[in-house]
Amino acid sequence: MPCALAPATSDSLTRALETAVYLKMRRRASSRVGSIALLKLKSGKEIDFIEGDEAFGIAYELIQVSLNMENEATRQREVSALQEAMARFEKDAATIVTLEEESSINIPEGVIHVMPAWKWLLG
């Protein structure tokens, strides 16, 4: 007999976190001209969410979503993608939304704010 209360996998938690971030961005974006999209960079790296005006090549916000930054490969992947996007759009700040972690990562392009989801969603 199937169980309706199956334990959540990290993949389903990641999807739920991405959905929460997207919905918050949609609510905030209603007062701005532009759109929210996934950005695939020339290097093949991806930015989970870019809010901006695609027609004019303007980015208001660059956001990655990751359950945590404990794994060095994950950290490097998220940071390097944001570095490339920050350079492309001449942004000096970007955000990584996680479940619990909070820190700042200083890079040559500027600063990446690592924020717990609850704090980012309330902001």
Three-class DSSP labels, the chain: CCCCCCCCCHHHHHHHHHHHHHHHHHHHHCCCCCEEEEEECCCCCEEEEEEEEHHHCEEEEEEEECCCCCCHHHHHHHHHHHHHHHHHHCCCEEEEEECCCCEEEEECCEEEEEEEHHHHHHC
The angle at the Cα of 39, spanning 62 to 47, to the nearest 5 degrees, equals: 50
CA diameter of the chain: 55
The model's pTM is: 0.87
- Spell out the per-residue pLDDT of the chain, length 123, in tens: 454 555 556 678 899 999 999 999 988 876 666 688 888 999 999 999 999 886 788 899 999 999 999 999 999 999 999 999 999 999 999 999 999 999 999 999 999 999 999 999 998
* The pair of three-digit structure tokens given for residue 17, joined into one six-digit string: 């976190």
Length of the chain: 123
